[in-house]
């Protein structure tokens, strides 16, 4: 009995030291981290700011929620912001499960009309949790923290309760700028929305591009891509999907401008990190294989 008690005490001490080490190591890390999480044919993006604020752009599946749990420490149950780019199932299906597991401060959405059962379930869950639900204003800027800004670029009009001929083109588009590095998040916008963004002359040049609409040929037209001029491009797409995403033409466009291309169907979940001056990447798999990229 005495030996068992001693062994138990040793285990508790070991685990305590391990958890303290993990927490201190986590706290010391002041890099921006953007996780493009493998959630199948869906989008789930987690932004973790240098001061450890959590921002989600879409939660497209329950698989996406499991990936979120892999990268957010077990002791951190708070998500400051969720952005629902648009109400298609592959961008919102994981939200009801997420709301059961995390405390959410604020959700941004366009309020565009959509009667899909999953969207209605999401809205009901948000209402039951009494989460702050906000329509972004034109060219709104959120200061996440010092030297870290999130810009709302598109849509440029109020879509509250309006019908949309193409819900993809109602997607919220954000640009994240932390110190000297920038990320462009594009939802599922297609060429018409891309042209509208160019018309408004917003500075969309970014180091990292979340490729619109899973790499579909309907998006990422050349003029838009030239304006963004990304060093790294991420295509969020499921294996052997029925839409044949991504288009080889889009991949060739990205490579032609010299962009490094990652795909969640081939690479799994991907981390793009930054210390404000440099970018680096890591493929998040069970073996934690590192793939450094510096620009």
Query: For 235-285, what is each residue's pLDDT tens digit?
Result: 999 999 999 999 999 999 999 999 999 999 999 999 999 999 999 998 886
Banded pLDDT at 84 (limits 50, 70, 90) = very high
Domain count, the chain: 2
In this structure, are 19 and 59 located in the same domain?
no
pLDDT value, residue 293: 40
In a shared domain, residues 15 and 158: no
Residue scoring higher pLDDT (215 or 288) = 215
Query: Which of these, 93, 110, 39, 26, lies nearest to 68 by C-alpha position?
Result: 39
Q: Degrees (nearest 5) of the Cα angle 29, 33, 39? A: 135
User: Is the pLDDT confidence value at 43 over 50?
Assistant: yes
Chain segment 218-247, per-residue pLDDT in tens: 999 999 999 999 999 999 999 999 999 999
On the question of pLDDT at 24 being above 50, the answer is no
Domain shared by 3 and 129, yes or no: no
One domain for residues 140 and 23: no
- Predicted TM-score (pTM) of the model is 0.90
Residues 71 and 188 in one domain: yes
Q: What is the pLDDT of residue 291?
A: 37
Q: Are residues 209 and 222 in the same domain?
A: yes
Q: Residue 254 maps to which CATH number?
A: 3.60.15.10
Average pLDDT over residues 288-293: 38
11 and 49 together in one domain: no
* Nearest residue to 131 (alpha-carbon basis) of 151, 159, 153, 109: 109
At residue 132, does pLDDT exceed 50? yes
| Pair (118, 9) in one structural domain | no
DSSP structural state of residue 291: E
Task: Quote the domain boundaries for residue 71.
Answer: 32-291
- CA dist., res. 267 & res. 264, Å (int): 5
Same structural domain, 1 and 73: no
Do both 184 and 262 map to the same domain?
yes
| Mean pLDDT estimate for the chain | 90
My answer on whether 209 and 280 are in the same domain is yes
- pLDDT tops 60 at residue 113: yes
- Arithmetic mean of pLDDT, 125-153: 95
Same domain, 59 and 180: yes
């Amino acid at each position: 009995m005495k030996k068992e008690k001693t062994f138990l005490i040793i285990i508790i001490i070991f685990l305590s030291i391990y958890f303290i080490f993990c927490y201190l190591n986590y706290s010391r890390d002041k890099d921006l981290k953007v996780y493009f999480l493998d959630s199948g044919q869906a989008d789930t993006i987690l932004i973790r700011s240098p001061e450890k604020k959590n921002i989600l752009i879409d939660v497209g599946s329950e698989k996406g929620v499991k990936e979120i749990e892999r990268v957010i420490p077990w002791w951190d149950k708070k998500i400051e912001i969720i952005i629902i780019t648009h109400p298609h199932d592959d961008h919102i299906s994981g939200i009801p499960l997420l709301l059961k597991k995390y405390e959410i401060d604020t959700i941004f959405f366009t309020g565009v009309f959509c009667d899909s059962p999953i969207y209605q379930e999401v809205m009901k869950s948000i209402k039951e949790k009494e989460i702050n639900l906000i329509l972004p204003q034109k060219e709104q800027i959120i200061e996440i923290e010092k030297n870290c800004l999130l810009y709302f670029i598109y849509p440029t009009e109020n879509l509250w309760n309006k019908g949309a001929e193409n819900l993809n083109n109602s997607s919220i588009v954000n640009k994240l700028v932390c110190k000297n590095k920038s990320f462009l998040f594009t939802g599922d916008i297609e060429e018409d929305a891309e042209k509208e963004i160019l018309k408004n002359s917003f500075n969309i040049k970014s180091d990292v591009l979340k490729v619109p609409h899973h790499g579909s040929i309907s998006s990422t037209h050349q003029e838009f891509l030239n304006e963004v001029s990304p060093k790294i491009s991420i295509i969020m797409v499921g294996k052997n999907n029925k839409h044949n995403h991504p288009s080889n033409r889009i991949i060739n466009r990205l490579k032609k401008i010299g962009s490094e291309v990652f795909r969640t169907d081939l690479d799994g979940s991907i981390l793009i990190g930054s210390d404000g001056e440099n970018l680096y990447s890591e493929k998040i798999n069970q073996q934690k294989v590192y793939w450094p990229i510096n620009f």
